[in-house]
Structure 1
Amino acid sequence: MMIMFTGKTIIVEGTSDRKKVQEIINEPVEIICTNGTIGVSRLDELIEGLYERDVYILVDADRAGEKLRKQFIREFPEARHLYIDRVYKEVATAPYRHLASVLLSANIDVHGEFLQKDG
């Protein structure tokens, strides 16, 4: 079965971030992992494939995440940045309810049960 994406792409740091976000979203959104820091040539390649798409950057609230976010701000200013509360530090460990509300605020459809779910 082929998945048709909605024209939205979320960029996260790691596979655990991607898995958690995939559980929460309720629409076919492409989720790309950078696997931590990303080189300039890889970033340019990535950006080339993202024009004409709604791109969201959802990275950890730590030094590595902020470094990656700054790279995207500089190289791809069209992207929309989503922020988790600094208290949670990592996307993968943020509560489902918090992530769902962050995604919903960006007009990304989420499964309703995650708006009440803890953990």
Structure 2
Amino acid sequence: MVMAEAPKIIIVEGKSDKIKVQEVINEPVEIICTNGTISLSKMDELIDEYFQNEVYVLVDTDEAGEKLRKQFIREFPEASHLYIDKMYKEVAAAPEQHIASVLLGANIDVQAKYL
């Protein structure tokens, strides 16, 4: 089994979400894209590879995002869930300051310019 280099993992839906989170964070964090869905076999791989890491799920507040979140709650209950305000609907559409406050609430270091 290969151990991840970063102690914290953030799971997002898409590439634009990943880019938005990367802009804000200020520590080594691995960001994994599910591309909106995740198969059971891929979920099992994630669990096997990252069960000893701090794993955070940050998905959109739309129907697809909530479906994905429910799958993670069911299959990977050890993961922590981060929530953006519903008024933004998408992680990629949320302002950097909002993303920063959500991440900071999870004890993830963010760039000071977004606080």
Aligned match of 1:94: 94
In the superposition, relative to structure 1, how do residues 41 and 6 fare at CA in structure 2: closer, same or farther (>3 Å)?
A: closer
Do residues 41 (structure 1) and 47 (structure 2) align? no
Deviation at residue 47 of structure 1 after TM alignment? 1.4
Distance in 2 of aligned mates of 1:55 and 1:92: 19
Matches within 5 A, 1:1-119: 5-115=5-115
Deviation at residue 37 of structure 1 after TM alignment? 1.0
| Partner SS state of residue 77, structure 1 | coil
- Structure 1 residue runs of 4+, over 6 Å off? none
Distance in 1 of aligned mates of 2:15 and 2:111: 20
Per-residue Cα deviation, 1:15-55 (whole angstroms, up to 9, x for no partner): 00001100100000000000011111111112111111000
TM-score of the pair, normalised by structure 2: 0.94
In the superposition, relative to structure 1, how do residues 113 and 5 fare at CA in structure 2: closer, same or farther (>3 Å)?
A: farther
Q: Tell me if the contact between 1:60 and 1:89 (Cα under 8 Å) persists in the aligned partners.
A: yes
> Identity percentage over the alignment?
69
Which 5+ residue runs of structure 1 have no aligned equivalent? Answer: none
Which 5+ residue runs of structure 2 have no aligned equivalent? Answer: none
Instruction: Give the root-mean-square deviation of aligned CA atoms.
Output: 1.1
Distance in 2 of aligned mates of 1:41 and 1:93: 30
Q: Tell me if the contact between 1:6 and 1:27 (Cα under 8 Å) persists in the aligned partners.
A: no
